[in-house]
Structure 1
Amino acid sequence: MLVLSRKKDQGIIIGENIELTIIEIQGDQVRIGIKAPKNVPIYREEIFLEIQNENKKAANTGVVKLEDIIKKKD
C-alpha cells in the first residue's frame, strides 16, 4: 500500500484520468473529491464489499435442470 500525506486542497493523480483532492479535514474525518471518467465505478469500501457478497450469494444458486422446469409447467 502506498501511503501519502496531503493537506487541504492538495491532490493525487491516479493514472492519467483519476484525480483525488482533499476537500476538508475535520478531526478524524477527511472529505475527498474524486474526478474520474463516468465509466469508472466509485464505491465506499463497505458498499463495495456488500455488493461483492451479494454477487457471491447470487452466483451460488445452484444448477436447475431443464426437465425440472418442464415438470413444474405441467
Structure 2
Amino acid sequence: MLVLQRKKGESLLLGDDIQISVVDIGADTVRLAIEAPKDVKILRKELAEAAIANQEAVADQEQIQKIKSILSSDRHSV
C-alpha cells in the first residue's frame, strides 16, 4: 500500500488517464475529484461490499426456494 500526503488543490495520477484531486479538507472528511475514462467503474467501497452481500443473499434465497420445492414435491410423491 502506498500512503501519500496531499494538500487541497494537489493531485495524483494513476496510470496515464486517471487523476485524483483533493478538492476540500474538513475536520473529519476529505472531498476528492476523480477524472477517469467513462469505462472505469468508480464505487465507494462500502457500496461495492453491500452489492456483493445483496447478491449473495439473493443467491441464498434462490437455493432455499429450490430446496423447499424439492422437499414439497417429495412429500406429494410419498
Q: Secondary structure at the match of 2:56?
A: helix
Q: Greater CA radius of gyration, 1 or 2?
A: 2
The equivalences for 1:30-45 within 5 A come to: 30-45=30-45
Return the letter of the residue paired with 2:27.
G
Which has the larger share of helix?
Answer: 2
Shift of 1:45: 1.2
Alignment gaps of 5+ in structure 1: 69-74
User: In structure 2, how many angstroms separate the alpha carbons of the residues matched to 1:18 and 1:58?
Assistant: 34
Aligned-pair identity in percent equals 34
TM-score, reference length from structure 1: 0.74
Alignment gaps of 5+ in structure 2: 71-78
Let me know the Cα RMSD of the aligned residues: 1.8
The equivalences for 1:1-74 within 5 A come to: 1-60=1-60, 61-62=62-63
Shift of 1:26: 1.1
TM-score, reference length from structure 2: 0.71
Q: Would the alpha carbon gap of residues 52 and 10 (structure 1) be closer, same or farther in structure 2, given more than 3 Å must change?
A: same
Return the letter of the residue paired with 1:2.
L
